Amino acid sequence: MLTLPERLEAVNINDVRLLELILKLHRRYSFIPLSVLEGATKGVTNLSSTLAKLLDLGLVRSRVGPEYMYQITFRGLDILAIAELTRRGVLARVGDVIGVGKESEVYLAWTPAGTPVALKLHREGARSFRNLKRSRKYRGLEGRQLWIDIAIEAASREFIALVSVSRAGGLVPRPIDRALHAVVTAYLDGVELEKVRGLSMEEASKVLYDVVLTVRSALKVARIVHGDLSPYNVLVVRQKGSVSGYVIDWPQYISAEDLAAKEALVKDLKRLATYFNKSFGLNISAEDLLREVQGGEG
């Protein structure tokens, strides 16, 4: 199977134009008939061979009905998002994958100035679309929506949350830009808390302090609750002899005004308290953390 950098190297502007057309038509057709593409391919040359190439690269999939029909894949959406970010001068090169989760892939990438950044490609729509439509965070989507729209909405929500919490003083990856289902942030050379070994009690307390500070800033200033906080969503970063805890993965955030926000906040803090007590020997209760988060102004 080709890697993302290999796919990027293989495509040209004609391929990108056809992918853009297929994406544009996705709201009208789940799979786009060949005859529709033939009648709408202004600016695209060699339609037949280009479709064959995109199929070979895994950027589209096909289905046979009365005629051949085509649909863009997540890999094709990746190409379009990166092409847009490249046009904007945000990205110059994409490297290897550095993280894979149930709902995203994260790649190391570089800006034109050579600065390393993190490129997160959302994959939420890969799960059951019906279940996602029932989810609170995507309830606003209307009409004929596909997994494409779910992934794009997730990226939009995450970028909004990162901007809001970052401005509020929370420790999150610094947001840079987004396109389609992709979010670009400053690169943090860290490890998920769940995978960290060898933290002293003092270091663990510092990481917990950072996370609680971020949860507090998110609640009191940005007016949102993470909603899925766990050891998998805390990144431990070592810098200049000290450790810091950054909170990542925000697309499922809940507005602080939502009736479910308090319950979600308590669950987040219970998971934190349980993990830090069990893994690092701390003695902190979820009630203590809740008081810190909800305490006076600041």
| Rounded CA separation 205/213 (Å) | 12
Identify the band that residue 102 occupies on the pLDDT scale cut at 50, 70 and 90.
confident
Is the domain of 198 the same as that of 284? yes
State the alpha helices, DSSP H only, in the chain. Answer: 4-10, 13-24, 34-38, 47-57, 74-87, 129-134, 147-167, 201-217, 261-280, 286-294
Contact between 156 and 122 (Cβ < 8 Å): no
Alpha-carbon span 236 to 24, nearest angstrom = 40
Dist. CA 1–CA 188, nearest whole Å: 28
Q: What is the pLDDT of residue 24?
A: 93
Q: CATH number, domain at 92? A: 3.30.200.20
Tell me the pTM.
0.91
pLDDT at site 294: 92
Give the model's confidence band at 240: pLDDT under 50 very low, under 70 low, under 90 confident, else very high. Answer: confident
Q: Quick check: 89 pLDDT over 50?
A: yes
**CA within 13 Å, CB half, 255:** 5
Among 35-44, 194-203, 284-293, which is the least confidently predicted range? 35-44
Domain check: are 205 and 265 in the same one? yes
Residues 205 and 277 in one domain: yes
Q: Identify the pLDDT of residue 141.
A: 47
State which of 45, 72, 99 marks the end of a domain: 72
Average pLDDT, stretch 11-24? Answer: 97
Same structural domain, 129 and 205: no
Q: End-to-end distance of the chain based on CA atoms, in angstroms?
A: 50
What is the average pLDDT score of the chain? 92
d(Cα 56, Cα 53) in Å, to the nearest integer?
A: 5
Decide if pLDDT at 263 tops 90. yes
Q: 153 and 104 in one domain?
A: yes
We report the CATH number of the domain holding residue 64 as 1.10.10
Residues 154 and 194 in one domain: no
Task: Indicate the residue among 186, 206, 234 that finishes a domain.
Answer: 186
Domain coverage including residue 182: 76-186
- Mean pLDDT over 148-154 rounds to 93
Average pLDDT over residues 103-109: 96
The pLDDT score that the predictor gives to residue 131 is 53
Number of independent structural domains in the chain: 3
Higher pLDDT, 42 or 270: 270
Interatomic CA distance for residues 229 and 221, integer angstroms = 18
Residues 119 and 47 in one domain: no
Q: Is the pLDDT of residue 128 over 80?
A: no
- Looking at per-residue pLDDT, the higher value among 227 and 132 belongs to 227
* Residues 35, 207: Cα–Cα separation, whole Å: 57
Going from the C-alpha of 54 to that of each of 59, 185, 255, the distances in angstroms are 5, 29, 40
Largest CA distance in the chain: 67
Cα–Cα distance, 207 to 173 (Å, whole number): 15
Q: Do both 91 and 52 map to the same domain? A: no
CATH of the domain at 248: 1.10.510.10
User: For position 234, what pLDDT does the model report?
Assistant: 98
131-to-146, 153, 258 alpha-carbon distances in Å: 12, 15, 20
Is residue 210 within 8 Å of residue 171, measured between CB atoms?
Answer: yes
- 196 and 147 together in one domain: no
Once rounded to an integer, what is the mean pLDDT over residues 65-72? 92
Q: What pLDDT, on a 0 to 100 scale, did the predictor assign at position 135?
A: 53
Q: Average pLDDT in the 185-211 region?
A: 96
So what's the pLDDT on residue 296? 56
Residues 129 and 41 in one domain: no
Is the domain of 194 the same as that of 283? yes
- Tell me which of 135, 153, 186 is where a domain ends: 186
For residue 143, pLDDT over 70 is answered with no
DSSP-derived letter for residue 173 is P
Mean pLDDT throughout 107-125? 96
Under the banding of pLDDT at 50, 70 and 90, the label for residue 229 is very high
Per-residue pLDDT, averaged over 134-153, amounts to 64
For residue 145, pLDDT beyond 60: no
> Does 117 have pLDDT greater than 90?
yes
Mean pLDDT of the region 89-114: 96
| Structure-model confidence comparison of residues 146 and 194, the more confident one | 194
Note whether 132 and 226 are same-domain residues: no
